[in-house]
Amino acid sequence: MDRIFSGIQPTGDLHLGNYLGALRNWVALQHKYECIYCMVDMHAITVWQDPKELAASTREVTAGLIAAGLDPDHNVLFNQSAIPAHAELAWVFNCVARLGWLNRMTQFKEKAGKNKENASVGLYAYPNLMAADILVYKATHVPVGEDQKQHLELTRDIAQKFNNDYNQNFFPLTEPLIFGEATRVMSLRDGNNKMSKSDPSENSRINMTDGPDDISRKIRKAKTDPEPLPGDRKALEGRPEAANLIDIYAALSDQSTADVCSKFEGAQFSTFKEELTELAISVLGPVGEEMARLVKDPGYLDSVLRTGAERAKAIANPILDDVYDIVGFLRP
């Protein structure tokens, strides 16, 4: 069976963008693939994290995955730092990847900003760790958004160079899985920017733990424009906030944006927002309630992560052993 790997950073609150862009798709994939899902806490510390908050967030994200519908008995769920093979393979890949490849990574430039000289080495080299995350399980597929395509291309480059350098056909060239509507959910306050937990405005995002009142308030305050909704998605070009809300409705209702535009053609946003609010509460409400219940049981969440780590090690460690033999590391 084909094997999927994907990871999510345990920093801040899970929000609608995480749910529509990743979690809901992961749930659908669990019945079609062997799935390995990881809380990437090692990636998280490429920028400083409060230790207590990082530990709490790791449990909270685990709760969010389970509440969204991931079965911890059917899937491998664990936190990255519990598997030393990730870091060990990343060092090998540090010696395979070329500086020029990393210099082309646009996300480092975006995250480091103007102060790149003060950014951590980990932030610069983390695409190599990302490649190790994937290839230490010989994952055949990775579900990715548009903004992650470049990192998967780097993973394929590293796998190909390793295979060539050592005259092996060892690592697969991992393929992307790209999903449809609303894989890139934008801010409720600015349709040109991605919905993000780092945005200082709480009204920019719907958190998975938000109750009905919060969801209603945030959608009501979501930025729109005075024009009625068109019957054609193409007519939303130049109207990013309007397009974002249409995309969100389409994704939550499992409809195409064309069908949503047809349904609400000529409607004012006040009417549309009422319908979107009702839909969002019906979909996210049960997820948020279950997530809140699970967070109150850290012992259960820790047991899920421990069991998942044991299953992950059983896959990763033999692959790392083979890499060490190929490279020539003595294991007396």
* Residues designated catalytic: 111, 194, 197
DSSP 15: B
Length reported for the chain: 332
- Is 89 within 8 Å of 136 (Cβ atoms)? yes
Residue 128: its H or E element: helix 121-135
Closest CA to 93 of 149, 136, 144, 45: 136
Q: What angle do CA 41, 304, 143 make, to 5 degrees?
A: 55
Q: Is 294 exposed, middle or buried (0-12, 13-18, 19+ CB in 10 A)?
A: buried
Q: What angle do CA 6, 7, 12 make, to 5 degrees?
A: 150
- Is 89 within 8 Å of 320 (Cβ atoms)? yes
3-state secondary structure of 236: helix
- Is 103 within 8 Å of 128 (Cβ atoms)? no
